[in-house]
Amino acid sequence: MKSREPRASSRRDRPPPEPGPLAALAGPPALTPPVSTLPGALDRLASLDAPWLTFHVGAAPSELTAQDAFRLAGRWATALLAAGVDRGDRVILLLPNGPDFVGAFFGAHLAGVVPVPVAWPFFPEPAPRRVAALAPVLAAARPKAVLTTGDYAGGGWPCPALTAPADHPAPLPSVDATQPAFIQFTSGTTGPGKGAVISQGAAVYNAWAIGHALGLGEDDVGLSWLPLFHDMGLVGALLTSLLYGFRLHLMRPGDFLLRPDRWPRLLSETGATLAVGPNFAFDLAAKKTRQPELLSLAGLRHALNGSEPVHRSTVERFTEAFAPAGLAADVVRPVYGLAENTLAVAFGMEREEDLSWHQRAVPTVGRPLAGMEVELRGPDGAVAPEGVEGEITVKSPSLATGYFEAPEQTAHALRDGWLHTGDLAEMDADGWFRIVGRKKEIIICGGYKVYPDEIDRVLMEHPDIVECATIGVPDEKRGETPKSFVVLRPGAKLTAEQVEQHCRAELAAYKIPRQIEFRSELPKSSVLK
């Protein structure tokens, strides 16, 4: 493993740059996708009668062609209409990664119904417990039906539960680009989740923009273990493969969590050129995979790292761990997106220039995708200068139409065609921007702003720390103070004092976490955040 180069000075010793031009950037010109709706995309791919999806579940993989998926979707649509679900009604999708999720998702579109994908448990649990966990979404969405498996049909749902499609498809209504494609309930890391309504046109555009940015085509091969109920798995993997017609291999999240090494092994076996995952997954794969030199990852062109803060140390560990398998050094790409823009906003690459005055070891998340604009705005709403922190605002053809039946929240987030994300960033002279943190997560410590992400990035540079999370806790003298939860690598021994000493070399005194709690693991939400 290569050693890290010594740094001439710490972040706190470097003055901020002089403000320059404004932090605003537009991506390449807007694109024109070949279709305007997801059913249109499925029909287009089905006409080619090409292989599409392979599900790696159980002892042997199973295949689903685009034609099979279209027929299955028609049967699910017929079942919905027969159950009395009307055009525009919402239906809950509680299904695992598999053919029925795909059929039910597109079947809802064919019926003119709005699917609401929700968290399938990674490991079995009693049906009433799952229903109780979904109570906030059920109350907000008011679904007319739940599409699920027999195991969860009797959980006490407030509406009928459908567990199988109809035997034969029936004539179905038409769908246009303005109709909702799905409602994506945000993960709610800083509060209750909200239902972002994504139109057919927005979903198609975002998937098309992703593939355009990566130069994808029908000869590519994707592999994803991410849940299809979450936007990174749904849009970044399934819908992008649908629009570009490439083969997609799908695992189940629980299988990855039990055997993280199965992900890189399947990347090798399938000849995958595209992979997607959150930051922690790259760490787990690097740590748990034995004899990586026996794998072949030379064909992997893009490994998209997003959905949570991206740490340069993680990118280095993954790249170094799989270099013996032929993995190129520039494959892992930090990306930025959010549910309110369907998914993707910007894609980036690591660069040495990212070692700026206060962003030690933070990869940029690059530039906006085609047709998208990003501006960083200060507290007064004006565009911030380059090098100065501002809130990310986005204008894009794939913006959500709003939050479902939440006009006040919609008006706050969407103003004059711009999405105010609540994420804070800085932009450099090349138009690449770096995420600093979230407005709602800022810790006010003795009057100073402290960003949990900044502390976490420093902690992750310690070779014995594999995972961490920092929050603000009450403090009598300073109002709030940082507290960090830390997971050590197996066999490592580290004291709280040693952790503080590590932070002291890189952080100003008021940013150093005064409370350290060691954990064997950190809890994660249903979308693995």
Beta strands (DSSP E) in 175-311 are 180-185, 195-199, 221-224, 247-250, 274-277, 302-305
- The confidence score (pLDDT) of residue 505 equals 82
- Worst-scoring range by mean pLDDT, 334-348, 423-437, 484-498? 423-437
- The confidence score (pLDDT) of residue 20 equals 54
- The confidence score (pLDDT) of residue 432 equals 79
Mean pLDDT of 149-155: 90
Identify the structural domains of the chain with CATH numbers, from first to last: 1-30+372-441 (2.30.38.10), 38-201 (3.40.50.12780), 443-518 (3.30.300.30)
- The confidence score (pLDDT) of residue 362 equals 53
Range with the largest mean pLDDT of 272-286, 300-314, 337-351, 463-477: 272-286
Q: How confident is the model at residue 430 (pLDDT cuts 50, 70, 90)?
A: confident
Q: How confident is the model at residue 444 (pLDDT cuts 50, 70, 90)?
A: confident
- The confidence score (pLDDT) of residue 237 equals 97
Q: How confident is the model at residue 349 (pLDDT cuts 50, 70, 90)?
A: low
Residue 209 half-sphere exposure, CB side, CA atoms within 13 Å?
A: 30
Q: How confident is the model at residue 353 (pLDDT cuts 50, 70, 90)?
A: very low
Going by the DSSP 8-state scheme, the letter that residue 51 receives in this structure is: -
d(CA 18, CA 386): 9
Range with the largest mean pLDDT of 91-105, 189-203, 327-341: 91-105
318, with CB counted inside 10 A (0-12, 13-18, 19+), is: buried
Mean pLDDT of 441-455: 75
- The confidence score (pLDDT) of residue 187 equals 59
- The confidence score (pLDDT) of residue 3 equals 36
Angle at the Cα of 182 from the Cα atoms of 178 and 186, rounded to 5 degrees:
120
Mean pLDDT of 271-278: 96
User: Is pLDDT of 16 > 70?
Assistant: no
User: Is pLDDT of 10 > 70?
Assistant: no
- Worst-scoring range by mean pLDDT, 228-237, 321-330, 463-472, 516-525? 516-525
Q: Hunting for tokens 């029925």 — which residue is that?
A: 100
- The confidence score (pLDDT) of residue 474 equals 81
Give the neighbor-by-neighbor strand order of the sheet with 195-199. Answer: 180-185, 195-199, 402-403
d(CA 319, CA 128): 43
More confident residue, 436 or 518: 518
- The confidence score (pLDDT) of residue 352 equals 45
Mean pLDDT of 57-83: 93
| Two structure tokens written together for 451 | 């960003």
- The confidence score (pLDDT) of residue 525 equals 56
User: Is pLDDT of 420 > 60?
Assistant: yes
How do residues 492-508 score in pLDDT, each as one tens digit? 888 998 998 898 888 87
d(CA 195, CA 339): 9
- The confidence score (pLDDT) of residue 122 equals 80
d(CA 476, CA 479): 6
CA distances from 470 to 219, 505, 511 (A): 42, 18, 11
d(CA 86, CA 82): 10
- The confidence score (pLDDT) of residue 437 equals 74
- Worst-scoring range by mean pLDDT, 14-18, 122-126, 212-216, 251-255? 14-18
How do residues 125-145 score in pLDDT, each as one tens digit? 899 999 998 999 999 999 999
How do residues 355-403 score in pLDDT, each as one tens digit? 343 344 456 778 899 999 999 998 899 999 888 889 999 999 999 999 9
pTM, 2 dp: 0.83
- The confidence score (pLDDT) of residue 45 equals 95
- The confidence score (pLDDT) of residue 449 equals 72
| Two structure tokens written together for 426 | 């800085």
